[in-house]
Amino acid sequence: MNYEELVAFAGRNPMLSAALVGLTAAIIVTEIRRLFRGYKSLKPAELVQLMNAGDAVVVDLSASSDFEKGHIAGSKNVQASQFGPEHKLVAAAKQRPVVLVCRAGTASEAAAKTLKKAGFEQVSVLDGGLPAWQQAELPLVKGRH
């Protein structure tokens, strides 16, 4: 396919062409935002490596009842509405890796933005939340421990 054929296709299919341009722009904007947001997204395997290194603080922002049904071993539960940079779990961890986990990803991303604004250096979220952890066939622990 050459340039003339592409131009002819775009002329014959203006709605498809507009949709392609719109989707391309949306992808570019999303990737630029991701690049400059200040925190990282971790895959489940990357979180396992970070936890095995021993220095990470893993905070689960799920509701207490959801946390008790299943959570990542070693994670601590805090209600998203009560969490912030001054919370006792993270207040002294500005230089340590802090990983935020929730069920859908929205609570952890909002909390990550707050921590970055407060000067935390190594903030991450679990990409895909607990469903991604389960999809990777990694274990969950039940109860409050």
Given the residues 59, 72, 100, 102, select the one marked as catalytic.
102
Cα separation, 112 vs 109, whole angstroms: 5
Active site (annotated) includes residue 102: yes
List, by residue number, the catalytic residues: 102
